[in-house]
Copies of this chain bind each other. A is one copy, B any other.
Amino acid sequence: MIRTSIITIGDELLIGQVIDTNSAWMAQELNKAGIAVNRRVAVGDAWDDIWNALDEESKHADIILITGGLGPTADDITKPLLCKYFGGTMVTNEAARHNVINIFNRLNRPIIERNLLQGEVPDVCTVIQNNRGTAPGMWFNKEGKVYVSMPGVPFEMKGMMTDDVIPALQKQFELPVILHRTLLTAGVGESFLADLIQSYETALPARIKLAYLPNFGMVRLRLSTSGYDTTTVGKEIDEQFTQLQNLVKDYLVTNEDEALEQVVGKLLLQQNKTMCTAESCTGGYIAHLLTSIAGSSAFYDGSVISYSYGAKEDLLGVNHDTLLTKGAVSEEVITQMAKGALQRIKSDYVIAVSGIMGPGGGMPEKPVGTVWVAVGDKNKIVTQKMFFRFDRARNIQLTAAHALNMLRKFIIEG
């Protein structure tokens, strides 16, 4: 089995200023191409640490993918280091140099020497041209192993991976097929699921791996396998996946690796319906999740984010007296918000949320984490009071997940 390591370079990764999203994307795409990632290592912009990481990952892996440290400024040392590591000399690559010049011309910005130097590469590498930025990628072969250096800018790295690196790796290595099947459950914990499917899990063939991924009060179950005979491998995992779905059918949300908002979007599209939202405490996060889906305008009409009392009254028609007597976080207000949004935005379905996400704003009778959610249509509104005991960001995420799941059930159960 071909083994792969990803090395990400940058001090920002080690002081926590930046969250590494590159590795997850790379791992996903590599998996699709039959390339399993075994290790991911992050090191800072420090000569010895990068050098050691190259030495060590060479022992672990056949393919070593490197991102970061290719910028034009003095803190970026990856390129000269790789040049020395592979025993090369820096030379100008005309195509890379022209690419830099073209980009600056297009942006109508003056070009400086520092930028032109981005066109230099070690003479021992194959250059991967960068169609989305100025820093070229570099491909090195050494003792049967492949090393590829790419920029840390996600958009640039993604272009190189898709257009050049993955196709070239598929040519150079004989790769297996790697298959995953993922389903999402709601309403029960992972221990309960583990007991429910215990005899199934014990009987699983060794080459199929089962994983439990709890998240936001829901649990994903994932089967993984790999092999060289695509038909057999696919048939086997699909059979096991069908059994698994059957065992957890009472809690099954979707049998695809998709987010809850995508499940809701698909349901709406199938029924040719639309939805809207009225968000107070989640402050647009539910709208953001839904509108992050390409083509969401076909099922999502819009939202009113009513943070202030005034916005609740003027935009959603919530009754002033109800707000004063019951408070913004109440069943009465959430019902009025839902009805107001439906009426004004004229969608088929609605989600409305109002709560106290913290850290401030809690009251003895309504502590931080109290949330009212309403879902429904013009005939019926269903409400639920929830309580989350986490920090602000997680309370917002949990509220969004639970509200989307409530709407999903409402649509299915009618």
**A interface residues, Cβ below 8 angstroms from B:** 11-21, 23-29, 31, 36-46, 49, 52-53, 56, 60, 71-75, 109, 112, 114-115, 153-155, 180, 182, 189-192, 194-195, 201, 209-214, 220, 222, 224, 257, 274, 276-277, 279, 282-288, 290-292, 294-297, 300-308, 310-311, 314-315, 344-346, 358-361, 390-394, 396
Number of copies: 2
> Which of B72, B180, B195, B344 contacts A190, CB < 8 Å?
B72
Can you give 26 A-B contacts (C-beta < 8 A)? A11-B211, A12-B222, A14-B40, A15-B28, A15-B31, A16-B28, A17-B24, A17-B182, A17-B222, A18-B213, A19-B20, A38-B49, A40-B40, A73-B212, A75-B210, A112-B191, A155-B390, A155-B394, A283-B300, A291-B307, A294-B359, A295-B360, A301-B308, A302-B305, A303-B303, A304-B304
Least CB distance, A400 to chain B, in whole angstroms:
10
Dominant secondary structure at the A interface: mixed
Distance A180 CA – B358 CA, assembled complex (angstroms)? 28
Distance between Cα atoms of A292 and B307 in the complex (Å): 12
B contact residues around A23 at 8 Å (CB):
13, 16, 20, 42
- Whether B292 contacts A11 by the Cβ 8 Å rule is no
Q: With a CB–CB cut-off of 8 A, which chain B residues contact A358?
A: 294
Q: Contacting A345 at CB < 8 Å: which of B44, B274, B315?
A: B315
